[in-house]
Amino acid sequence: MESIAFGIGITALAGALAAVAGAAENTESDIGSQGDPNSQVQLAPQMGYLHRIFNKAIAGEPPAYGLWVALGAGLAWAFMAMHVNPILAIVLGCALAVFVQGVYATTAYLGRIASLSKFGQPVFIDVLKSMTTVTMAHAFVAIFTTVTICHLINAALGHPFPLPLLGLVWGIALGAAGSATGNPFYGKERQYQTQKFGAGVPIAASGNIVRYAEAGERNSLDNGWFSAKLGGPASGLCFGLIVFLELWRTVLFEKVGAGWGAIVVGIIMILIFTVIDRYIEVWARKTYGPYTEPAKEGS
């Protein structure tokens, strides 16, 4: 009984850490414009819209986070092997991994923006100076919490994978969840605030991103502020639920029916999420109603 209570406690802690990780990851990727909407930031100067937005997407979020979390976890693992206290080892490992993220952010921003110089897009050194540190800070929160989850799963719950491998698995899962959930909010709601709310962005508007914010020209710190309202927390909740439910069903029901208990609970949870999804979909169709017949005039 005690071991189950311990397992549930670790599961809850891991779920809470995952929620923080997801929120930080999404905010970091939106400040750095690393998610899928980055193509619009890249496209804007070609369409004649110069901007002051960071753009560091040279690889997708999931592989990039897979690298950074695996790096943080691997270094933490090495420090632990040198008999460093686990908490200190994780902090040190993640701090070193964040420097790699910082180098990546710097070179990616310079490379991506410099490639647009033929369209008149300058490299803003003040953007680089002020925003790289902010993405690094958010990345540290995301990497630290994810490596801590991996350590809890490995040391306290006894998962067979070593820490670096768990780091790779959960780093990729973190990037996938954050990229899928939070990016549309930044992509459509933030970059296209001139477009009507409650409709998709017409393909003809590609590249015409909003470049001015509440106080002067928009920069990526404004994007971080905006994402932290909904996209970040939703990504956090998404990743938190994935980690929590995956661990919860295993810790509580693995022993039931020689492993089949966890499978049945997993299937029930999939069905519950399917019902919720369908409910939201039907609610949206009823509430927003059908759009009028496609009109002849432009959007």
Partner 1 sequence: MTAIGAKPAAGATMDIPSTIAGIILLIVIVGATYFLVGPGMMFYALLGVIIGGLLISFGVHFVPVGGAPAAMGQAPGIATGVAMLAAGAGLAGLFGGAWAAEQGLAVAVITGAVGGGLMMAITCMFVTFIYVFGMGIPSASGKVAKDPITGDTQTEYKSQGTEGHGLPFVSYVGGVTGGILGGGGGTLIYIMLLDVYKEALPAMMKAQAAQVVPIAVSLAGIFAIGMFLVNAVLTAYNITGTIEGPHDPKFKRFPRALVASAVASALCGMVAILIVAM
Residue list 228-287, contact with partner 1 (CB under 8 A): 230-231, 234-235, 237-238, 241-242, 245-246, 249-250, 254, 258-260, 262-263, 266-267, 269-270, 273-274, 276-278, 280-281, 283-285
Q: Please report how many Cα atoms fall inside a 13 Å half-sphere around the Cα of residue 222, on the Cβ side.
A: 17
DSSP letter assigned to residue 155: I
User: Residue 188, interface with partner 1 (CB under 8 A)?
Assistant: yes
Selected from 32, 60, 93, 232, the binder of partner 1 by CB under 8 A is: 60
170 near partner 1, rule: CB under 8 A = yes
Residue 202 φ then ψ, to 5°: -60, 145
Dihedral, 204, 208, 214, 220 alpha carbons, nearest 10: 120
Whole-number minimum distance, CB 95 to partner 1, in Å? Answer: 25
Among 135, 179, 220, 223, binds partner 1 (CB under 8 A): 179
* 20 counts as binding partner 1 under rule CB under 8 A: no
The residue from 13, 43, 58, 96 that contacts partner 1 (CB under 8 A) is 43
**Nearest CA-CA partner of 244 in 3, 79, 15, 6:** 15
Residue 89 or residue 177: which is nearer to partner 1 going by CB? 177
Task: Indicate the helix (H) or strand (E) that contains 77.
Answer: helix 61-81
Report the distance separating Cα 117 and Cα 122, nearest Å.
Answer: 6
Q: Which stretch binds partner 1 (CB under 8 A): 89-97, 127-135, 214-222, 291-299?
A: 291-299
Q: Please give the residues from 111 up to 140 whose contact with partner 1 meets the rule CB under 8 A.
A: none
Residue 187 CB, shortest distance to partner 1, in Å, is 3
Which region among 78-86, 113-121, 160-168, 214-222 touches partner 1 (by CB under 8 A)? 160-168
For residue 80, state whether it binds partner 1 (rule: CB under 8 A): no
Least distance in angstroms from the C-beta of 142 to partner 1: 15
Confirm or reject binding of residue 6 to partner 1 (CB under 8 A).
no
Alpha-carbon distance 94 to 96, whole Å?
5
What 8-state DSSP symbol labels residue 123? P
Check residue 161 for interaction with partner 1 (CB under 8 A): yes
Figure out which of the listed residues 20, 75, 90, 177 binds partner 1, where binding follows CB under 8 A: 177
**Distant-in-sequence, close-in-space partners of 150: CB < 8 Å, separation ≥ 6:** 69, 73, 163, 166, 167, 170
Which stretch, 4-12, 76-84, 107-115, 175-183, contacts partner 1 (CB under 8 A)? Answer: 175-183
Q: How many residues bind partner 1 (CB under 8 A)?
A: 87
- DSSP conformation letters of 208-228: ----B-SSSB-BHHHHHHHHT
- Residue 197 as a binder of partner 1 (CB under 8 A): the answer is yes
**Shortest Å, Cβ 264 to partner 1:** 9
Residue 259 gets the label, from left (phi > 0), alpha (psi -120 to 50) or beta, of left
Which is closer to partner 1, CB of 27 or CB of 191? Answer: 191
On the 0-12 / 13-18 / 19+ scale of CB atoms within 10 A, 200 is exposed
Q: Is 184 in the site for partner 1 (CB under 8 A)?
A: yes
- Name residue 274's amino acid: T
For the beta carbon of residue 212, count every other beta carbon within 10 angstroms: 13
Binding status of residue 212 toward partner 1 by CB under 8 A: no
Token pair for residue 299?
Answer: 């959007």
